[in-house]
């Protein structure tokens, strides 16, 4: 029995959960900013919120990919 195997699974599940949380958060932030920008006109804050949401989405996808690739 390998002693490191359960820890590798826990580590992979951590990245999967963290990636999923980042993806959902990024989508929510970006969608809310886009909806607000369409209603009240675009501001600099809307653009920054869209960029932050997109960045969270990208990094969440990377973390999710790392978790899925390291899952044993």
Provide mean pLDDT across the span 59-68.
93
Comparing 41 with 13, which gets the higher pLDDT? 13
Alpha-carbon distances of 58 from 1, 13, 23, 68, rounded to whole Å: 37, 18, 7, 15
| 48-61 tens-digit pLDDT | 999 999 999 999 99
pLDDT of 1 over the 60 cut: no
Three state DSSP letters for 4-67: CHHHHHHHHHHHHHHHHHHHHHHHHHHHHHHHHHHHHCCCHHHHHHHHHHHHHHHHHHHHHHHH
């Amino acid at each position: 029995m390998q002693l490191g195997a359960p820890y590798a699974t826990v580590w992979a599940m951590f990245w999967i959960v963290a990636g999923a949380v980042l993806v959902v958060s990024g989508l929510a932030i970006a969608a809310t900013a886009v909806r607000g920008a369409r209603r009240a006109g675009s501001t600099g804050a809307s653009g920054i919120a869209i960029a932050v949401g997109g960045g969270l989405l990208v990094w969440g996808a990377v973390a999710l990919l790392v978790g899925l690739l390291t899952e044993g």
